[in-house]
A and B are shown apart, each in its own frame.
Chain A
Amino acid sequence: MDLKFKNKKITGILTVLPKREILFEDEMGNYNFSIQKSLKLKSAMGYNKKRIVEEGTTSSDLCVFGLNYLFENKIIKKEDIDALILVTQTPDYIMPPTSNIIQGHFNLKQDMICMDINQGCSGYILGLIQSFMLLGQDNINKVVLLNADVLSPKVSKKDRNSNPLIGDGASITIVEKDLENSKIFCSVKMDGKGANVLEIPAGGARLPSSNETAILKEDRSGNFRSQNHLVMKGDIVFNFVQKEVPPMIEAILKKAKLTKDEIDFYMFHQPNKFMLNKLADKIGISREKMPSNIVGKYGNSSGVSIPVTISDNIGNKTLNNKYKLCLSGFGVGLTWASMIIDLENLNFCKIIEY
């Protein structure tokens, strides 16, 4: 589905990353692999370091920390927030919505909208789309888009498919109306037939967590995980991304009447370096235009990986420059979504540590 928005813009991005850093080598002994093979995996996939939270830290903790930073430094005012959207797969509770908890924590005005959206790898783009739609209302002038995922407790430490790459994090993106005639192009696709390709089988209503779902079992490749853990069928995800994302990028560039070279950066979700390099080659752009440094620096924080990529690679430069970006997220759902958007003269764009 193609979508187009006018007169909307991002005015600031703050990324919150946990201070706790884990090295790939720290956990290499967990995997049913020789050291030599693990190091080959590290090199091919671009794994190195990841940031994960201390036990007990939740998505709302990271969001509250970031919002507090913005309020205390008088970067945004509480009373200006007309909507609070939280995109997460790891809410604090099944109910109530975590966005309401955050609203209550800061005693924000009642005359506003809070909503949680359950999306992952494409969650940044879907959150931006929802923000732009809300800004179509006369009474909504400033949307705070929160993306947060704390998936590290949901991953088996003995699962080399997922554990080396999963990181935690949150981002806060301020989205506002734009008086300039800005145009934003989006494309979104979904395929629920692939819903089990990336899943946490137990813990919901269909299969509640129990002693039985917590039993670690070995898969064909020697990974140990329980039904309470994240399961990623990596080869299927890889093939889905390689098949679906390049044509989506071609189509969105055509809609926007842009050439590949007119995009300054392709800021994509970052599951691993190998996947991104293959995407860059297929799309026909230099690998330098598609940063792949984040998964090895901070880990893959699901819906937060795109704002981390922006903040880390061009953070300060966005304060005084204009960038035409192509964003793309792909994964759980299955969902894949892309967006062409300008970032210009942001009020802030940085990473802080929790």
Chain B
Amino acid sequence: MASLKIKIVKILNEIRPEFDFSEPIDNFIEVGMLDSFDVVTLVTSLDEEFKISIDGVDILPENFATLECIVDLLKKYVDK
């Protein structure tokens, strides 16, 4: 779990280096830390990092709103 979070934060910080994603944030998308193209880049990076393919129907803003949301989403695939 902890290592999953660390890997996700590393990827997020590479996509938007101007923000610190390890800080608690209410909603990455609503505050403008991630836009829809960042989400595409994030999904591509997560797919590659974890050797998974996140289902297209799961690529919804609410699944990328916080670090916890992203962890919960990934658990669906990584735990399989």
Residues of A participating in the B interface, judged by any CB pair closer than 8 Å = 37, 40-41, 43-45, 160, 221, 234-235, 238-239, 241-243, 274-275, 277-279, 281-282
Additional A-B contact list (5), CB under 8 Å, known A241-B56, A277-B53:
A41-B40, A242-B59, A278-B53, A279-B56, A282-B57
Cα distance A235–B40 in the bound complex, in angstroms: 10
Interface digits, B34-61 against A, CB 8 Å rule (1 contact, 0 not)?
0111001101100000000101110111
- For the complex of A and B, the 3 pairs showing the least CB-CB separation, nearest first, are A242-B56, A278-B56, A281-B53
- Tally inter-chain residue pairs, CB-CB below 8 A: 49
Residues of B participating in the A interface, judged by any CB pair closer than 8 Å = 15, 35-37, 40-41, 43-44, 53, 55-57, 59-61
- Whether A235 touches B36, Cβ cut-off 8 Å, given contacts A40-B15, A44-B41, A242-B59, is yes
Cα distance A282–B41 in the bound complex, in angstroms: 19
- Whether A45 touches B40, Cβ cut-off 8 Å, given contacts A221-B35, A278-B53, is yes
Contact A274 B36 (CB under 8 A): no
Contact A40 B36 (CB under 8 A): no
Distance between B7 CB and nearest chain A CB, rounded to angstroms: 18
Give the chain A neighbours of B43 by CB distance below 8 A.
274
Contact A234 B56 (CB under 8 A): no
Contact A238 B59 (CB under 8 A): yes
Give the chain A neighbours of B15 by CB distance below 8 A.
40
**B44 contact from A221, A274, A281, Cβ within 8 A:** A274
Q: List 22 A-B contacts (CB under 8 A).
A: A40-B15, A40-B41, A43-B44, A44-B44, A45-B37, A45-B40, A160-B37, A221-B35, A221-B36, A238-B59, A239-B59, A239-B60, A242-B55, A242-B57, A243-B56, A274-B40, A274-B44, A278-B55, A278-B56, A279-B56, A281-B55, A281-B56
Cα distance A342–B36 in the bound complex, in angstroms: 38
Cα distance A238–B58 in the bound complex, in angstroms: 11
Distance between B58 CB and nearest chain A CB, rounded to angstroms: 9
Give the chain B neighbours of A238 by CB distance below 8 A.
56, 59
Contact B56 A44 (CB under 8 A): no
**Which residue on chain A has the smallest CB distance to residue B37?**
A41
Distance between B73 CB and nearest chain A CB, rounded to angstroms: 14
Give the chain A neighbours of B44 by CB distance below 8 A.
43-44, 274
Give the chain A neighbours of B53 by CB distance below 8 A.
277-278, 281
